[in-house]
Amino acid sequence: MSKSRNLFFLLSLSVIFVLALAYNFADRNIAKLPPDPRTVNAQYDFDLRIIAAANAANAPLEGTGPLGLGRKALKQEIVAWDLEIAPDGTGLPVGSGSVSYGEEIFSEQCSVCHGDFAEGVDRWPELAGGEGTLADEDPLKTVGSYWPHLSTAWDYIHRSMPYGYAQSLSDDDVYAMLAYILYSNDIIEDEEFVLSNENFLDVEMPNANGFIIDDRDVTEYPLFSGDPCMKDCKLKVEVTMRARVLDVTPEDDGS
C-alpha cells in the first residue's frame, strides 16, 4: 500500500516539475506585443475609415458590379490603399522625427525582432551593417548597405511594419524610426539629426548608384517588336565556326 502511495507521490512530483518547466519556457520564443494600444487599434481604425468613406459617398450596395458581384472601388478607397512614395520624394507626407525619439520607439516596437541597434535578433532581418560586403560571396544586404533609395524604406516601414501591426505608425513615427535606422547604419552621424520631408532627399544612400536602370523598353523592345522577317532574310548563309571547336561547354569550374 505504501509502495503505491510512494509511486503516486513521485509521479505527481514529476508532473508538477514538467508543468513548471513548460510554464517557464513556453513563451520564451514569442515576440512580445507592442505595449501601445494605438498600434493594436490602428488596423480597426483603417477599416472603419474605409467603411465611413463608403457610407459618406452613399456607395451602392454589393452585387451591383457587371456580373452581379462586388462594386466599383470608390476614389477614397483607392486613396487609402495607394500609399506609394517615389524615390524623388513624390508622395512623402509632411512630417519629421529625430534620431533620439526614433531610438525610443524603435526599442519599443521593433527591437524585439530587429535588435536594439537594428543588428537583427536571431534569424530576424538585420537593418544595419553589411557595408562593403555586396561583392562578397555572402553579402549582407541591409537598408544601409543595399537599398538605393531612402523612399523605399519609408514606404516599406509605413506600409508593412511592425510585422503583424502594419500601418499602425504615424507619419512622424516613420520619419523618426528611419532617422534611427540611418544612425545605426552610420549614414547619419549626428545624434541630434531630425529627418523630415524637407531634408529627405539630402540623405545620401551608400548604394545609390549600385543598380542598373532597366532601359530595356528603349534598348531592347524595339529590336523585338518590329515585324519579323519571314522571307529571304539573309541572302547568303555561311558557317563560320563549329560548337565543338568553339568549346562552348566549360570543362573546369566555369570561371
**Site residues, ligand HEC (CB under 6 A):** 31, 109-110, 112-114, 124-125, 127, 142-143, 153, 156-157, 161-164, 169, 177
| Under 8 Å between Cβ of 105 and 162 | no
b/e burial code for range 185-194 (CB count within 10 A of at least 16 → b):
bebbeeeebb
Distance CA 207, CA 134 (A): 9
Distance CA 78, CA 65 (A): 17
Question: What is the smallest separation between the CB atom of 170 and ligand HEC, expressed in angstroms?
Answer: 11
**Which position has the grid cell 518590329?**
226
Neighbours of 171 (CB within 10 A): 16
Residue, CB closest to ligand HEC:
110
Between 76 and 120, whose beta carbon lies closer to ligand HEC?
120
Between 57 and 86, whose beta carbon lies closer to ligand HEC?
86
Distance CA 85, CA 78 (A): 15
Question: What is the smallest separation between the CB atom of 116 and ligand HEC, expressed in angstroms?
Answer: 12
Between 177 and 209, whose beta carbon lies closer to ligand HEC?
177
Question: What is the smallest separation between the CB atom of 88 and ligand HEC, expressed in angstroms?
Answer: 20
Question: What is the smallest separation between the CB atom of 84 and ligand HEC, expressed in angstroms?
Answer: 16
Distance CA 143, CA 207 (A): 9
| Under 8 Å between Cβ of 203 and 195 | yes
Question: What is the smallest separation between the CB atom of 157 and ligand HEC, expressed in angstroms?
Answer: 5
Between 14 and 160, whose beta carbon lies closer to ligand HEC?
160
Between 157 and 182, whose beta carbon lies closer to ligand HEC?
157
